[in-house]
Amino acid sequence: MSDLEKLLNGVEVDWKILGDISEIYGGLKGKSKDDFTDGNAKYVSYKNIFNNIEVNFEILESVKVGLNENQYEVKYGDVLFTGSSEIASEAGISSAVTNKYAEKVFLNSFCFGLRFNSDIELLPEFSKYLFRSQFMRNEISKTASGVTRFNVSKKRFKKLQIPVPSLKIQKELVSVLDTFTELTTELKRELQKELTARKKQYSYYRENLLMFNESEVKHLHMNDKSLGEFIRGKRFVKIDMISEGVPCIHYGEMYTHYNTWADKTKSFVSKDLVENKNLRLAEKGDVVIVAAGETIEDIGKGTAWLGEEGVVIHDACFYYKSDLNPKYVAYFTRTRQFHDQIKKHIRTGKISAINASGLGKAIIPVPSKEEQERIVTILDKLDILTTSLIEGLPKEIELRKKQYEYYRNKLLTFPKDAIKL
């Protein structure tokens, strides 16, 4: 018998109907958009409930509430729920009030609260886990109905049954779950620290490998005629993009999809569009460089195109054509050395941008082809290590999350006698 089974072995648990042991109250009523500007009171937002298993009092929002207004206050021990969602499985997400707050706190209009009767002994620390357990989530989801948006039916919600174990068992369960939560959080923190350290290490080697003494290696402006040229792409829009056809790179994808190099694209455009709009294509060995973004830091990063087929380039990008190793150039565009040179030439605004002249003013060290290849080989290895960690981190976190949810659901599964509703 496992420790979990021993903990719950022979435990008698009363099952109670929510409508018999609690009351439901609504969120703020009679409020306009203006009431949520420069408010004099605090309220728990929909997002606060959705994102937190227990209410986070550090991120309360403000609302105007008059002295004589008849509004429900949030109290210690309550469990708050989101009232609706675009999908049924996410309707009625809970957040328990596990701390007392000195000031009056109200509830978002699109949410509702559950307050247990004074004779019901249910620890808020237990409630926070109970109502997020898979069993209760399944039951709560069944109370929601709708087409484009699913709303929780309070009438059906009141008929739900919940287990109410003794305070002793509640405390033991909370202790186990709190410990597991802390371990999971600590692991996530350690994994994130490892990722940050690897990124810093990678950045350090990249910066230093691409730094040369000017007396030993020639340095040239990137638009030097003997070296290369920047060619701007031509405009196409997202609705032009299709699932197959001529490979294309939209500037927005440079931030979300592409790294140092690519030989395949996420998106395509039609051959007719390429011909009718006379779109420009980068060839194998060119480096695609993003030239527009919301912040200065977004601009200038390059991706070496290594595909056998030409790739259509968006007009918010340039492609750099040169005899340099394309990966060498791509790595260089991701250094502080390069970015410090181009940022003075970036036009700022709602969307910041740089032109070919600004990019061309950057000076790049030009070592021998053999040295370029050596540097690329080293950085490729570091890139693989860092990328594998970046990809592995979410998987590891998801694995731990599933493990945590398994034990939580196991701990919160009680024998249930039939109750007539």
The CATH topology of domain 213-366 is Adenine-n6-DNA-methyltransferase TaqI; Chain A, domain 2 (3.90.220)
pLDDT digit string, tens, across residues 86-101: 988 899 999 999 999 9
More confident residue, 176 or 370: 370
| Chain length of the chain | 421
Q: Which residues have CB under 8 Å from 88's CB, separation 6+?
A: 141, 144, 145, 146, 150
Per-residue confidence (pLDDT) for residue 1, from 0 to 100: 38
Q: Looking only at Cα atoms, what is the longest distance across the chain?
A: 89
Give first-to-last CA distance, the chain, whole Å: 35
What per-residue string of b and e applies to 91-107 under the rule 16 or more CB within 10 Å gives b?
bbbbbbbbeebeeebbb
The per-residue pLDDT for range 115-142, each reduced to its tens digit, is 999 999 999 999 999 999 988 999 999 9
> Residue 386: pLDDT above 70?
yes
Give the bridge partners for 302, in sequence order.
Answer: 289
Give the model confidence (pLDDT) of 140-165 as tens digits: 999 999 988 999 999 999 999 999 99
With cut-offs at 50, 70 and 90, classify the pLDDT of residue 8: low
Q: Using the 8-state DSSP alphabet, how is residue 57 labeled?
A: G
Whole-angstrom distance, CA of residue 267 vs CA of residue 270: 10
Quick check: 311 and 282 in contact, CB under 8 A?
yes
CB 128 within 8 A of CB 96: yes
pTM of the model: 0.62
Q: Which residue has the tokens 């599964």?
A: 413
Q: State pLDDT tens for residues 327-377.
A: 999 999 999 999 999 999 999 888 899 999 999 999 999 999 999 999 999
Q: How far apart are CA 302 and CA 99, in angstroms?
A: 49
| CATH architecture under which domain 3-165 falls | Alpha-Beta Complex (3.90)
Full DSSP string of 43-95: EE-HHHHHH-SB--GGG-EEE---TT---PPP-TT-EEEE-EESSGGGTT-EE
Same fold, 3-165 and 213-366: yes
Mean pLDDT of 2-25: 75
Q: Tell me which DSSP letter residue 74 carries.
A: P
Q: Please calculate the CA angle 227-233-234 and round it to the nearest 5 degrees.
A: 155
Pair type for strands 302-305 and 219-221: unpaired
Q: Distance between CA atoms of 2 and 169, rounded to whole angstroms?
A: 17
Residue ranges per structural domain of the chain? 3-165, 166-209+368-416, 213-366
Structure tokens of 57? Answer: 């009092």
CB atoms within 10 A of CB 220: 16
pLDDT range class, residue 418, cuts 50, 70, 90: very low
- Residue 125 near residue 186 (C-beta atoms within 8 A): no
Rounded to the nearest integer, the mean pLDDT of the chain is 90
